[in-house]
Structure 1
């Protein structure tokens, strides 16, 4: 009993300190007399996160990146045929399914693993959580006594997982509120790409920035909205977005806005985190030509593109910009095309409205 109590303490500690999940998997394997233990979550988009004992970490990484992760017969059958109860793979798969299953020959056997037992359940948010134990080749399958032991641990495992998940939502609210305290409108975007927390300053920017159906963030400017959707897609795919600062031009006396999409960096072991990125908003200056450093930093413009953008912001034609910079009109137009792509604008007049006033506060636009 003392061992069970100590393990339960470790579970609830990991729910509060995500860095402890790997250590907790090692303790779970020891409690179950297994060779390895893993916990993985799958969101409603099929994205996998996992934490595991180090001896199978590489195998899990390959599995999560493979097409087989989107069609995991073992997890699906466990959810259908043995929900919330630990069971062996041979208990939830038919003989045909077990024979045709690709996980064993591709990921388990090459890593010295032969038998698997696990528990799969869904939390209220729709995320699937799986707790998996494995035996090495030559050890035989999990016994009924070992399964009974695991099912005694199951309530604490489930509560700790649910607690960690709920803390992820609370943390998102805290991040938005913290930015509110320094006057920054902000929304926290969850791992589904939808808003899970938005502070009062951000809500006050509606309808220029608002949430639509299913808490999807909607921008009034179509070009910026398309850039935001693309950036979120890239974040979900764990890739770096092409554009991470998104412009909304001034309108009806309202100042121009720049939306900054910032990734939430955390240990991969924090598999229950729900926050993927923060969308923060700053207001641009009202007068003066754009600052070169601001242009390059916000929109990832090259120095050559930034020089062209600065000329356009001063209402110069592409021909004038080319002459002033000593480049061909074709080069100036090529730069202009890329600038408009990076800023989400479709017309030169819209680009001028956006760029005017992007100067460093206190600089007066004098920085060359």
Structure 2
């Protein structure tokens, strides 16, 4: 790691100190060979919040105040056609659509930009988070190599953007204020691996999530507890844990939970002194097969693994999945083993219980819900 820290460090720093997002967006653009980088969220009412590089800030201000934001088909198309990777806008719109696109014509091009690529994902509460980058007029379009580099950043981008979106990209002045602003059950894990603060929402989840001897966090279920302990051990060693979204299957009418671990980096330690990580909990419970976009965003599953996971959630056997996907039984079983490792489950029945709660609410685009 260099003296300035890795880009992942900067992402997690900005997640908890949102005033640093402008600089972090510039680092993302530099890493991607892009002219701009922006992150925005869209809720069910069509409200947009965003952070961006300064050179496109005026365009974004115009966009979020105009009716064109309500007819933006990019996020929905990206989630449908490319849920696992960054994609060029020209691969989402037909040639005719691109030529007549109001956002391209009235906002992007007048501000000196020409090419756009991005990735959109939906978190379980239904909000859509979009990461979008642009290249200036006169430059070539985003190459496959550039998109591949961006795909490597997806897990860190997703978690940092999700946490910051819960804070509405506003700066908190204290640990207590941050936990309050999140609006999610949350706890702060100290350098020694102990829970040093938690909000009332987290306390209501006891006994599923509770503190034990020495203020150690204890999760219901051996698999989830082992994953949390492993992640904390990695943080203590200053390493990135293999799993940062930890699943807890539903129990006795209680919905599944997803625990998001966010490392406290750099300037974030000014607010979270002596802290190692923030743990936030998303409650899910939509009935039906899991949404591929949610699977990808939460557990970093590959496209092939996500397809197998969806089959498992629909009560298909590995044999049935292999036949429907046109893969060998050995390959299906190999994917299943990796899925269980990433989700912290030990039995197929446990995996089914977890995945059955990951069907995200519908998202029709920017138009407010009726």
TM-score by length of 1: 0.50
Q: Which has the higher contact order (CA 8 A, sep 6+)?
A: 2
**Larger-Rg structure:** 1
TM-score by length of 2: 0.49
